[in-house]
Structure formats: C-alpha cells, structure tokens
Amino acid sequence: MALKIALKPGERMLIGGAVVKNGSRQTTELIVENNAPVLREKDILNEKEANTPCSRIYFAIQLMYIDTENLATHHESYWKLVRPLLKAAPRLTGLIDQVNEHILNGKYYQALKLAAELIAHEKEITGNVQ
C-alpha cells in the first residue's frame, strides 16, 4: 500500500536515507510506493538535541529505523541506555516493555512513536522537579 504525504512549503522529510525538501511555495504531494523508512521533519531528532536519557533512547531507535546497515550497533546503544533509565524511573517499565517488543519484532517506526511518549513522560517528571 502506498503512503501519501503532503509537504508544506519548505518542509523537509527523510525518505529511505535521503532528505527531501519542498522548495515550492505550495504544498507538494508525494507518494511513496515501496517500503522505505519515512520520517517527517518534526519527528527527526538530531544528535545535539538528544541530551536527556529518553531523547537518547529515541535517537537510538531513530538510527535503527533509518540506518539498518549498523543495526547491531544501534541495538547495543539502545540496551545500554534503557537499563539505567529503568533503575531511575521504574514507573516507565510498561512503556519500555512495549518499545522493546516493537524493537525485537523489527517495528522501529512503532517503537519510535512510543519513544516519543517516553520523552513526554520525562518532560512531565523533570517539569515537576524544577
């Protein structure tokens, strides 16, 4: 099944490792007809922005999704990040278990969406501390 994507003027996205940018002054419609990793600009986290435990986990999963050639390395990074997080915040165990299940089944996009929830929980927790 094809994926239909509308890009706003100037909006970027990642399709199968290539950055695509709409340069026109109009919304452009793209149709991705094969199975390829696709991330909208709003869902892409750069390495500098991965500066908290949960954002680093998100970044590791993002790399699993877009850089399959180095999958073993990204898996190793992920597991090294998850263990200390669970010790520090055991209440996240249920959500992490769901993320783990998606990762173990190779469903990285779904894992990435749940990792975004981890970041939201982290912001909520740290917001209460400040």
What mean pLDDT do residues 75-103 have?
Answer: 96
This model's pTM is above 0.95: no
CA distances from residue 80 to 73, 83, 84, 86 in whole angstroms, order as listed: 11, 6, 8, 11
- pLDDT, tens digit, for every residue of 31-48? 999 888 999 999 999 999
pLDDT band at 125 (very low <50, low <70, confident <90, very high): confident
The tokens for 116 are: 């975004």
Q: What is the mean pLDDT of the chain?
A: 92
Question: Other C-beta atoms within 10 Å of 79: how many?
Answer: 11
- pLDDT, tens digit, for every residue of 76-87? 999 999 999 999
**E strand residue ranges, 1-130:** 3-7, 12-15, 18-21, 28-32, 38-40
